[in-house]
Amino acid sequence: MTNQVSKTSYLLYSYLLCANRKGFMITFDNNFLVSFLPFSLRLFSEEERPRPKPMVPQLAPPKIPEGERVDFDDIHRKRMEKDFLELQTLIDVHFEQRKKEEEELIGLKERIERRRSERAEQQRVRAEKERDRQTRIAEERQRKEDEEAKKRAEDEAKKKKVLSNMGANFGGFLAKAEQKRGKRLTGREIKRKTLSERRSPLGIDNLREDGLRQRAQEMWNWIHQLESEKFDLLDQMKRQKYEIVVLLNRISHAQKL
């Protein structure tokens, strides 16, 4: 019974499908109710409700006209050529950039080497100038020392010459001069004074005018030398007295603390 109903339903569905294609509307009032409108179908059954099979469209591959056939080998070749050109361009750009960077690196190394050479040259010139300066200072110091030594030697020679040319009464003359200044004589000075007074006078009787002038100049030089030494000794004595006073004050201040 069920198989018959299924067959009947299938036949009815086929009939209604044909009517749909022609644009009819069919209605049945029995065990089945079918309402059919154009482009739609409804089927109700108390015993069975058949399901239509889905319509699967049959798709056929597109056909390429014979006159417009595509050469895939040519497309592949052109694509390979394009990729090769792009790759070649990238390679050229890379090597150009690398060449530029190498040139900049070489220029940087050259600038560093040039600055290093300039710095070494400046240091060499500065060291040479410093050596010259030190040499000049040493030469100037040596020259001054030589001049001072020469001056001292000349002074000593003059002093010896004056002493050798002085007469026997020159010591008495100095003693009298010191006595006039109010100096207090020591035992040695008194002895020297006594000896000088007992000596024979200067032998200037037989000297001419030039000889007398020379003897007077020698005596004056000797007196000047003695006065200079006296002044230096007095100044040294004053400084020593001042230092003694300062030291005594410091000692007294320290003792108070």
DSSP 147-194: HHHHHHHHHHHHHHHHHHH--TTHHHHHHHHHHHTTPPP-HHHHHHHH
Q: Is residue 15 a part of any domain in this protein?
A: yes
- Residue 245 corresponds to which tokens in the numbers above? 């006073």
Domain around 31: 2-45
Tokens 């399901």 label which residue? 51
How far is it, in rounded angstroms, from Cα 79 to Cα 73?
10
Bridge partners for 33 per DSSP: 44
- Give 131-158 pLDDT, tens digit per residue: 888 888 888 888 888 888 888 888 888 7
* Nearest-10 Cα torsion for 177, 181, 184, 185: 0
* 183, 200: one domain: yes
Backbone torsion region of residue 56, taken as left when φ is above 0, otherwise alpha when ψ lies between -120 and 50, otherwise beta: beta
What percent of the chain lies above the pLDDT cut of 70? 56
Q: What is the pLDDT of residue 38?
A: 38
DSSP state of 23: T
Mean pLDDT across 184-210: 66
Q: Is residue 154 a part of any domain in this protein?
A: yes
Number of domains in the chain: 3
φ/ψ of 31, rounded to 5, equals -70, -20
* 130, 193: one domain: no
* 196, 155: one domain: no
Q: Is residue 30 a part of any domain in this protein?
A: yes
- Give 74-103 pLDDT, tens digit per residue: 888 888 888 888 888 888 888 889 889 989
Mean pLDDT across 24-48: 43
How far is it, in rounded angstroms, from Cα 152 to Cα 227?
17
* 117, 135: one domain: yes
* Cα-to-chain-centroid distance, residue 88: 45
Could you tell me what percentage of the chain is helix, strand and coil, using 3-state DSSP and rounding each to the nearest 5?
75, 5, 20
Query: pTM here?
Result: 0.28
Q: Is residue 137 a part of any domain in this protein?
A: yes
* 121, 178: one domain: no
